[in-house]
A = this chain, B = another copy of it.
Amino acid sequence: MQDEKQTRQKLIDCAKKEFLEKGYAKASLRSICANAGVTTGALYFFFENKEALFAAIVDPPLNGLKGILVRHFKDDIEEMSGIASPDDIDMDHTEICDRIVGYIYENYDSFMLLLTATENTVYENVVDDVVSMIERSIPPMMAALNGYTVDEYMSHWMSHISIDAFIHVIRHETDVEKAKIRLRAILNYLVLGWVKLALVKE
């Protein structure tokens, strides 16, 4: 019962390390198995192929993050409906910011993989995908605010640099708490930009 997960987990751990060190293409399954102390056959019992192994590492955290974002946008829409003017929008995003950053750092390696080792993978455009996801959440949010519409291109670009901001910090700051502090400031600035640039009075 304990052994059940041990080999699989050991493989995932070693794969994580290998992928981080060498990138997806150059990572060697042989090497991963050797480090995990099993034969390649064992790997293929647990994972269909190289890509499935990679997915097993990055997919759960990625889905977790997407879940957090989806839930957040749903809450935001509800909040928006009770608001009369953009000036009344709650500018404090500390909570959601901390939750996201916290989640990312709990799965730091996986997210680093998604940022650096996805060449020739289904995850090649993962950043763009998340950006799209965020973009799709904007219209319903803005629809809740009467008398305003969204500048589509600016909204798209703001979504992108918001993500970029996260990525930038994640890549360069290994300490969670410092990352949180930095991102709180940046996020607030970005949201301000959003309101000022992407939101257009009808």
Contact, CB under 8 Å: A120 / B26: yes
Assess whether A9 is interfacial by the CB under 8 Å rule.
no
Which one of A48-56, A59-67, A133-141, A159-167 is at the interface?
Answer: A159-167
Contact, CB under 8 Å: A164 / B168: yes
Assess whether A91 is interfacial by the CB under 8 Å rule.
no
State the CA gap A120–B24 with chains docked (Å). Answer: 10
Q: Interface size class for chain A?
A: 20 to 34
State how many angstroms separate the Cβ of A197 from the closest Cβ of chain B: 7
| CB within 8 Å of B: which A1-60 residues | 22-26
| CB within 8 Å of B: which A180-202 residues | 182, 186, 189, 193, 197
Assess whether A157 is interfacial by the CB under 8 Å rule.
yes
State how many angstroms separate the Cβ of A201 from the closest Cβ of chain B: 18
Contact, CB under 8 Å: A120 / B22: yes
State the CA gap A54–B168 with chains docked (Å). Answer: 26
Contact, CB under 8 Å: A161 / B153: no
State the CA gap A168–B26 with chains docked (Å). Answer: 27
Closest 5 pairs between A and B when the two form their complex, measured CB to CB? A25-B25, A164-B164, A23-B119, A160-B168, A161-B161
- List residues of A whose CB falls within 8 A of some B CB: 22-26, 116-117, 119-120, 153, 157, 160-161, 164-165, 168, 182, 186, 189, 193, 197
List 22 A-B pairs, Cβ < 8 Å. Answer: A22-B120, A23-B25, A23-B119, A24-B119, A25-B119, A25-B120, A26-B119, A26-B120, A117-B119, A157-B165, A157-B182, A157-B186, A160-B164, A160-B168, A161-B161, A161-B164, A161-B165, A161-B168, A164-B164, A164-B168, A189-B193, A193-B193
